[in-house]
Amino acid sequence: MAKDELVFKRVEKKYVLNKKQLEKFLLEISSYIKKDNHDEYTIKNIYYDTDNYQLIRNSIDKPLYKEKLRIRCYDCFNNSENVYVEIKKKFNKTVIKRRVNLNYQEAISYLNKKIKPNNNSQILNEIDYFINFYELKPKIYLAYERIAFCGKDNPSLRITIDKNIRYRLNNYNINYDNDCDFLLDYNQYLIEIKTCTNFPLWLVKALNENELFPQSFSKYGNSYKQILKKGVAKPCS
């Protein structure tokens, strides 16, 4: 089992663009950015929630503080690879991620069967409390393809482009990627800009000139809204 722990704290802003808008925006900022070390990959997630989707319902209400838990992997292709078990928290527009790296089967045994790994780390103890307090279960599989850039002069600035955002409500095997529904049209992309500091002036200028404004877009939240419309999940009274 890999034992590395990771903590991220940053501001994230999201934008939904069509293909023409995306190409124009990337062209204008091309001299300031470069492909990330791992520039193109597939992200797969399993989101955990209560039976009545308490965590995502609370998130949709836009409180000052919200949290969620997921298994996440990058370009996983078999059940022996490592994944992240991650708590994602948001407080007053600042995103904090706390996660541990586990073998996939180990992570599934832990979250689904409560077989705790032999790891007494602080982050794992926080995750353990979280899943037991809420009695969490796997609720949604969610995946997408991502292209990632970072700033040439500021590697902590990241711009990611997600496409083919898709979800599934059954068969929570993270390596099965069929039978999914899609969140956006085929020519739409979700852009996320992530930074620990203020946006540089060149980025602010490009966003303003292209009339691109941040919007609230939760992949899990929008998946939940779609299944509400389909009558698969029922809102609480």
Question: Rounded distance, CA 97 to CA 9, Å?
Answer: 7
Query: Which DSSP category does 113 fall into?
Result: H
Q: Tell me the mean pLDDT in the region 15-25.
A: 97
Sketch out the chain's domains with CATH numbers: 5-229 (3.20.100.30)
Question: Rounded distance, CA 234 to CA 237, Å?
Answer: 9
Mean pLDDT, rounded, of the chain: 91
Whole-number pLDDT of residue 6: 77
Question: Rounded distance, CA 90 to CA 81, Å?
Answer: 28
pLDDT tier at 103, thresholds 50, 70, 90: very high
- For residue 139, the surrounding DSSP H or E stretch is strand 137-151
Q: Taking 60 as the threshold, does the pLDDT of residue 3 lie above it? A: no
pLDDT tier at 233, thresholds 50, 70, 90: low
For residues 159 and 193, the answer to whether their CB atoms sit within 8 Å is: yes
For residues 210 and 191, the answer to whether their CB atoms sit within 8 Å is: no
Query: Which DSSP category does 186 fall into?
Result: T
Q: Could you write out the DSSP letters of every residue in 1-50?
A: ----EEEEEEEEEEEEEEHHHHHHHHHHHTTTEEEEEEEEEEEEEEEEE-
Q: Taking 50 as the threshold, does the pLDDT of residue 135 lie above it? A: yes
59: region left, alpha or beta (phi > 0 left; psi from -120 to 50 alpha): alpha
pLDDT tier at 235, thresholds 50, 70, 90: low
Q: Taking 70 as the threshold, does the pLDDT of residue 75 lie above it? A: yes
Residue found by looking up tokens 């040439």 in the block? 152
